[in-house]
Amino acid sequence: MHMGFVPDALITVLRRAPAGDPTVYGVDGMEIAIRRDTATSIRVRVAEAEASEEAKDVSKLAEAAR
């Protein structure tokens, strides 16, 4: 939580290491790299302002991150 993963923080996937782990996330303007096993402990939801098409893209990214 000290690194920005707090309720209502805006989180985006920025890039992934060539081997797939870790992944760099943008969290309210900061870049944070975390490993998959840590990321599985973090729960996210699609921002309410997102369009339904963008929500589908986010779901695809979430599946790819697993």
Across the range 5-26, mean pLDDT stands at 88
Q: Looking at this protein, which amino acid is placed at residue 43? A: R
Read off the pTM: 0.61
Across the range 1-14, mean pLDDT stands at 78
- Please provide the size of the chain in residues: 66
Q: How far apart are CA 15 and CA 23, in angstroms?
A: 6
- pLDDT attached to residue 24: 93
